[in-house]
Amino acid sequence: MRRLALTFLAALWLIPAASAHIFVTSLALNQFVLLTPNDEGATIVGVRLELPPGLHVEQLEAKPGWRTTADGWTGGRVPPGRFTGFGVVVTEPQSRTQVVIGARETLANGETKTFQAPVELGPAAATLHDSGARTLGKAALALAAVAAAIALAAGAVALSGWLRA
């Protein structure tokens, strides 16, 4: 039993912590979705895009409860433990290229947090390489592995207790 517990703790230690609090998924040659999970202690009330030189916002998704600005959204709410996605259309890149999209989240307590995530834009970028979805998929797989390990450990403890009774 001790060996199982040590194996479980080692597995948890080896799973990398999320380094970015935003995920960017390419939809088309000049469109992407910015996912903003809230793992902070305060509600997110604003999101501002920080684009690299040469990219400019053409359209922002209209979200119920949010007001769009020239470079983001304000007035909405993303409570702790929840997430939302924002659709963005930018100027079309001349060729397929990987860029880093930044986002500054404003929290209800007045604090701001800035995060960055890579995305590939340009002709056929969404079909050839979707790094945002792949990263999210890897995180989901790691979470599923942890859940399976916890279930296995709980089953072993229950079986051990039953056999001793």
For the chain, residues with pLDDT lower than 70 are 1-21, 123-135
According to the model, what pLDDT value does residue 76 have?
Answer: 94
According to the model, what pLDDT value does residue 21 have?
Answer: 63
pLDDT tens column, 29-70: 788 888 888 888 899 999 999 988 888 899 999 999 999 999
- Is 19-130 CATH 2.60.40.2230? yes
The predicted model scores a pTM of: 0.60
Report whether 4 contacts 12 (CB < 8 A): no
Q: How far is residue 143's CA from residue 43's CA, in Å, rounded to a whole number?
A: 24
Report whether 29 contacts 123 (CB < 8 A): yes
Hey, what are 19's tokens?
């380094």
Q: DSSP string covering 62-78, please?
A: --TT-EE-SSEEEEEEE
